[in-house]
């Protein structure tokens, strides 16, 4: 059994870190029923998380190369329109144009940078194909794909990072685990809800919030198509776009817990008029 290190450390007190004090701290923390053990990931879970981490690292490198190329060309008076897909074609066009004022030493380096960007995009596309293949053979992922705002990336990441969904007694516990529930400050008769806790895995929370943003865009195109979209637009009108995205991500996580726990697809239930 594994225990969270940041929760065991306070039991060590002010003593020096030794094997003896660590063992005593583990024994004391194990007696605390509120400290839940860390689940051990299977080989399949670790392989899927490895694919997600590789893709995330390659995407960060791609973004850095795109920004670098944009900045270098801007210093020479060449501005590239917004959009990651417009960078490489525009750079290759500038390299091929021999009449512009682009220095010759930069042309070869910019061409190699474009090749690196395309190679990173090819790697990311290959990882996405592997994740889609895994999604088609995993029942839990198939159920999660029926939830609005959840795609193959989010579904496979959720199954790999979370593991056993039955360790969460309710949907609210699952949302709290993902860091999507607000912090509670209560004293006496006063109770105030603050910002979201941002606990749990940052990557998984990031995927859910981006999925919620895509749902908000779909809701604006078809406002009355789904009750979930109507609710999201009402929250956005009252609280703003960013708060509505986080609130919708929390609701999506709760729906995901339900369909995952009950082993069924998400079905839209319309209220009677």
Ranges under pLDDT 70 in the chain = 268-273
Query: Token pair 């960078």 is at which residue?
Result: 87
How far apart are alpha carbons 218 and 55 in whole angstroms? 26
The token pair at 163 is: 């593991």
The token pair at 136 is: 């088609």
pLDDT computed for residue 269 by the predictor: 58
The token pair at 143 is: 């159920």
pLDDT 10s digits, 234-265: 999 999 999 999 999 999 999 999 999 998 88
Residues 6 or more apart whose CB falls under 8 angstroms from that of 180 comprise: 196, 205, 208, 246, 249, 250, 253
Record the pTM: 0.83
pLDDT computed for residue 273 by the predictor: 42
Q: Could you give phi then psi for residue 187, rounded to 5 degrees? A: -155, 125
pLDDT computed for residue 270 by the predictor: 54
pLDDT 10s digits, 35-53: 888 888 888 889 999 999 9
pLDDT computed for residue 48 by the predictor: 92
Question: Is the Cβ–Cβ distance between 158 and 144 less than 8 Å?
Answer: yes
**3-state SS class at 18:** coil
**3-state SS class at 159:** helix
Query: Token pair 């994740």 is at which residue?
Result: 131
């Amino acid at each position: 059994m594994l225990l969270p290190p940041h929760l065991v450390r306070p039991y060590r007190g002010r003593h020096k870190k030794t094997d003896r004090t660590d063992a005593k701290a583990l024994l004391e923390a194990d007696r605390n029923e509120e400290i839940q053990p860390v689940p051990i990931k299977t080989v399949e879970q670790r392989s899927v998380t490895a694919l997600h981490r590789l893709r995330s690292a390659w995407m960060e490198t791609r973004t850095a190369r795109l920004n670098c190329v944009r900045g270098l060309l801007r210093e020479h008076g060449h501005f590239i329109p917004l959009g990651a897909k417009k960078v490489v074609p525009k750079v290759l066009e500038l390299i091929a144009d021999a009449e512009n004022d682009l220095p010759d030493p930069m042309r070869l380096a910019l061409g190699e940078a474009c090749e690196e960007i395309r190679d990173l995009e090819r790697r990311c596309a290959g990882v996405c194909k592997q994740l889609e293949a895994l999604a088609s053979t995993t029942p839990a992922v198939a159920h999660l794909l029926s939830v609005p705002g959840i795609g193959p990336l989010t579904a496979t990441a959720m199954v790999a990072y979370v593991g056993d969904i039955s360790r969460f007694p309710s949907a609210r516990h699952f949302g709290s685990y993902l860091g999507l529930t607000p912090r509670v400050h209560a004293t006496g008769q006063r109770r105030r809800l603050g910002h979201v806790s941002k606990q749990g895995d940052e990557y998984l929370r990031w995927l859910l919030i981006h999925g919620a943003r895509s749902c908000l865009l779909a809701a604006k195109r078809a406002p009355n198509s789904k009750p979930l979209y109507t609710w999201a637009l009402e929250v956005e009108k009252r609280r703003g776009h960013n708060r509505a995205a986080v609130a919708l991500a929390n609701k999506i996580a709760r729906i995901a817990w339900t369909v995952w726990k009950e082993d069924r697809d998400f079905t839209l239930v319309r209220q009677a008029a």
